[in-house]
Structure 1
Amino acid sequence: MSWSPLIYKFVDGGEVPVPLDMALVRAVLEPHHVEDPQLTVAEDGTLQFWIRASDGSEAELFAHENGILVSRPQADGVFGIIAELVSRLGAVIIDPSEGGVVCRAEEHAHLPAGMRDDAIVIEMTGEAVETALTGPRRP
């Protein structure tokens, strides 16, 4: 895939995303990071991860305190890692190509009012995230 979903956290309907728990981001992603751990922090402080799921699927993630860019997520297992991260952060996923929001019921009420009506509320699993963002798989 060539699109890049975004992960943000909103609180109490605020229009501006709130800072993420970067220690939690590291805790979830570091076990799946395939590069030298010394290379995870860029000069500007952005955390960079190249993650790989047990099935071999991969994605690059660029995290700063207000959001995470998921670059080129491949199908299958990597979406499980993304779902875990989003769930543990209490965050949402935004598909910039469609402008849609994917979230759990717990985060729906925290979205800005303008995002609530079109949000896709799911159980935050890898399969559900992948289906919500890419559509159902064809046999």
Structure 2
Amino acid sequence: MSYSPSIYKFVEGCDAPVPLDLKVIQAVLSPYDVGDPDLTVMEDGGLEYWVRAADGSEAEIFVDQTGIQVERPHSGPGVFAIVAELAARLAAVIFDPSRGTFFCGSEAHAHLPADIRHEAVLIDMTGEAVEAALIGPRSS
């Protein structure tokens, strides 16, 4: 699976994403980081994490001033729970570039620009809901 959902935060209907709270991001991702801590901060000031959830699912996560890119998330609710926690704690949206769709909780939805708000899909910010939104529901 080679897709890269992204996370962005909008405020008060502004068309451009706003800077993210890096302390929140570090607090969420650091416990799951299995990469070299000396390489977390990149030359351009962005952050890079290799996260692994308890269920073994993984993703590379790149953070810059206004966005988080989730590279190659493995199927499994664990890594998607980490993505959901990031979005929820930042009151941000998850963008699926393969479909051009924004997924968000109600708090983030209220702050989206009008054109995005009308097309955004409201979901619960849980690992299972994010995984189902991005790659489809798990088969039993």
Q: Normalising by structure 2, what TM-score?
A: 0.96
Tell whether 2:97 aligns with 1:108: no
Residue 30 of structure 1 deviates from its aligned partner by: 0.6
Q: Distance in 1 between matches of 2:75 and 2:119?
A: 24
Task: Look up the SS of the partner of 1:49 in the other structure.
Answer: strand
1:90 aligns to 2:88 (yes or no): no
Q: CA deviation at 1:118?
A: 1.7
For residue 97 of structure 1, report the CA deviation from its aligned partner: 1.1
Structure 1 unpaired stretches of 5+: none
In the alignment of these two chains, the number of paired residues is 139
**Deviation of residue 34 (structure 1)?**
0.2
Instruction: Give distance in 1, aligned partners of 2:125 and 2:7.
Output: 13
AA paired with 2:72?
A: R
Q: 1:46 offset after TM fit, Å? A: 0.9
**Aligned mates of 1:114, 1:12 — CA distance in 2:** 13
How large is the RMSD of aligned CA atoms in angstroms?
0.8
* TM-score relative to the length of structure 1: 0.97
Q: C-alpha distance in 1, partners of 2:132/2:118? A: 19
Moved over 6 A (4+): none
